[in-house]
Structure 1
Amino acid sequence: MYMSDYKTDHQTKQQKSFETEDARSLLDQLLADSKLYTQSRDYKDLLDFVVLLRNFAPFNAMLLQVQKPGLSYAASARDWRERFDRWPKEGARPLLILWPFGPVALVYDVMDTKGKPLPEDVASFFARGEIDEIKLRSFEPLLKRKSIEWCFVDAGDRNAGSIRVVLRASSDKDTTQYRIHINRNHDPAVKFATLVHELGHLFLGHLGSDRKLGVPERRALDHSQQELEAESVAYIVCERNGVKSKSQTYLANFVNANTTIDHIDVYQVMRAAGQIETQLSLAAHTQYDRPTKSSKF
């Protein structure tokens, strides 16, 4: 197995741990008990937090925010030891995240570790940098494997792109085929933001369910709800990968115009963002010590 294949398989296994009924029930209970993220400002703050913790999948970053609001950086004991020459303090309280080998893994807040001083840019340690044409083109074969065709079109500036179903699977043995149109006249950063936004619609279920891709049925949402969710996904993925997009302005305007987020499914937004990072091989690689059989959480 090539290293790239291993990384993709590793990312897929991690992402699938967030797509179970148990994960959904856990999140629903946490949000209900904590009464968090009911206000639009709190929701935007959550997205910013998920952007900050690039070394965790979006879903796990949210779990950390629920457990310890205000946390600035966290990592596994192994990462602290191997990457930063630090280790958890005696009696430090671990935080829980989902992990396919686990069912949970333990991580520690930077404030609960000791050792060598941290790099000044630790918060951006896992930043991916800007997207250029070469990197952009590398996504095409990855999407093609999932029956997602990507076509460039000659369009005006106000037409960024679109996505549609080309052929709907008629049985579980068939594969639904998709086509994304992206304006070839935009620069790479805008193209990337458009790609992520349109993939957001797909993985949020706005085009209908797709069992092979792990996509739910959510076509019933109105247009404004769909756009807000897709922009939320685009904001997370773009910001975590060093790309500035119009999503920042879009979400800021939403916060200014609204006080609640009654119709936003936070779980679906985090799940879709993680799926897109996995499909594009952008997922971060926090390393964990495999739990022992005697571990109890």
Structure 2
Amino acid sequence: MGEERAHRMQEIDKLYAEVHEFRTKESFTGLVSFVKRFPRMAPYNAMLVYTQKPGSRFVATPDEWRIYGRQPKKGARPLVILQMFGPVGFVYELEDTEEIPGAEGNLFPEGLLHPFRTEGNGEFYIHILKDNLRREGIGYREENYGSSQAGALHRNDDGGTFVFPSKTPKGKEKVVPHDFDMVVNRNHDDTTKCATIFHELGHYFAGHLGGYPDNKHVADRRSEHLTVGQEEFEAETICYLVCERVGIKNPSAAYLHGYLDRNDMIPKGISIDTILKATGKIERMLKSGYPLREMKKE
């Protein structure tokens, strides 16, 4: 058992190392195209599947495949992913599964591709996002901007907190520091506003604005001295992935294709690891019940 665990950890280390190999235009676009096709899977895990089996169409755990009347073939090789309380979990690609004799199920579970209630419905996402921004410590307001200005995110130096009442009569209210403010063009439709929020959250979770002492999941990357172009490339890629995975079309696609058409390599200093993790964090903000920002303990 100890040898097996050690082997698994070696595989994880190898997969982590491969994150840094997606530097050419071909490998980067291949990775991004693959990750956007698996919205039910965490972006980082989609990358791990891509490095092991790039042509995968559908991947799921054995329990999930049984729901669709399928099971792993005898001797099929599982794909390694990371999981909560892991270190690893295993999934199987469609071609490595077979029908369970006598079972009823769908051969091609299209439902795996559509985890959200609707696709492209900004009216649905915008209300959840506004509430969850406050839970993350980010204020939100809309201004009467011109058509060329979408929005912005900046640090709030005026202090203040967001107060959340207790869910129980005897419980204490909770507060989250008001550390950032986001401004969005009120003249845009809800879907465009969502894309703007995704882009600005891309900057936030990528650490472009810096972290702060009590935040556990936003790193301060200002010491990396990224250029504006590098930061925009990361934020646009994050926005593109989130939008594509929830069915929203956005201008980030044109931006990325335009850049990659003119260049053979993605910009130096870009962190694929950061892009994938930020994408997953934004996707969690699209669901109700988003937890209040977790603080670092003194």
User: Structure 1 pair 281/102, CA: closer, same or farther in 2 (3 Å)?
Assistant: same
Structure 2 partner of 1:118: 107
Number of positions where the alignment pairs a residue of Structure 1 with one of Structure 2: 255
Residues 1:58 and 2:63 are matched in the alignment: no
User: Larger RCO: Structure 1 or Structure 2 (Cα < 8 Å, ≥ 6 residues apart)?
Assistant: 1
Structure 1 partner of 2:237: 232
User: Structure 1 pair 176/151, CA: closer, same or farther in 2 (3 Å)?
Assistant: closer
User: Structure 1 pair 267/24, CA: closer, same or farther in 2 (3 Å)?
Assistant: farther
User: Structure 1 pair 23/166, CA: closer, same or farther in 2 (3 Å)?
Assistant: farther
| 3-state DSSP of counterpart to 2:152 | strand
Please say if residues 143 and 280 of structure 1, whose CA atoms lie closer than 8 Å, have aligned partners that are also in contact: no
Residues 1:266 and 2:251 are matched in the alignment: no
User: Aligned-pair distance for 1:75?
Assistant: 0.8
User: Aligned-pair distance for 1:74?
Assistant: 0.5
Structure 2 partner of 1:156: 146
Structure 2 partner of 1:212: 215
| 3-state DSSP of counterpart to 2:142 | strand
Q: Which moved more, 1:120-129 or 1:148-157?
A: 120-129
Structure 2 counterpart of 1:222, one-letter code: T
Rounded Cα–Cα distance in structure 1 between residues aligned with 2:264 and 2:235: 19
- Choose the corresponding residue for 1:44, options 29, 34, 43: 29
Q: Note the alpha carbon deviations across 1:89-128, whole angstroms, 9 max, x for none.
A: 1111101110012211110011101114424746634355
Residues 1:145 and 2:135 are matched in the alignment: yes
After superposition, residues 17-28 of structure 1 pair within 5 angstroms as: 27-28=15-16
- Choose the corresponding residue for 1:181, options 179, 183, 196: 183
- Which consecutive residues of structure 1, in runs of 5 or more, have no partner in the other structure? 1-21, 284-297
Rounded Cα–Cα distance in structure 1 between residues aligned with 2:235 and 2:158: 21
Please say if residues 19 and 272 of structure 2, whose CA atoms lie closer than 8 Å, have aligned partners that are also in contact: no
Rounded Cα–Cα distance in structure 2 between residues aligned with 1:174 and 1:134: 25
- Which consecutive residues of structure 2, in runs of 5 or more, have no partner in the other structure? 1-9, 100-104, 160-174, 290-298
Q: Larger Cα Rg: Structure 1 or Structure 2?
A: 2
User: Aligned-pair distance for 1:161?
Assistant: 0.4
Rounded Cα–Cα distance in structure 1 between residues aligned with 2:158 and 2:95: 50
Rounded Cα–Cα distance in structure 2 between residues aligned with 1:241 and 1:54: 7
User: Aligned-pair distance for 1:160?
Assistant: 0.3
User: Structure 1 pair 120/274, CA: closer, same or farther in 2 (3 Å)?
Assistant: closer
User: Structure 1 pair 194/106, CA: closer, same or farther in 2 (3 Å)?
Assistant: same
| 3-state DSSP of counterpart to 2:156 | strand
What is the TM-score normalised by the length of structure 2? 0.79
Structure 1 partner of 2:294: none
Rounded Cα–Cα distance in structure 2 between residues aligned with 1:259 and 1:196: 26
Please say if residues 40 and 255 of structure 1, whose CA atoms lie closer than 8 Å, have aligned partners that are also in contact: yes
| 3-state DSSP of counterpart to 1:167 | coil
Q: Note the alpha carbon deviations across 1:54-97, whole angstroms, 9 max, x for none.
A: 11000000010011111122011111112x12111111110111
- Choose the corresponding residue for 2:260, options 227, 235, 255: 255
Rounded Cα–Cα distance in structure 2 between residues aligned with 1:253 and 1:242: 21
User: Structure 1 pair 208/23, CA: closer, same or farther in 2 (3 Å)?
Assistant: farther
- How large is the Cα RMSD of the aligned pairs? 2.6
Rounded Cα–Cα distance in structure 2 between residues aligned with 1:146 and 1:242: 24
| 3-state DSSP of counterpart to 1:151 | strand
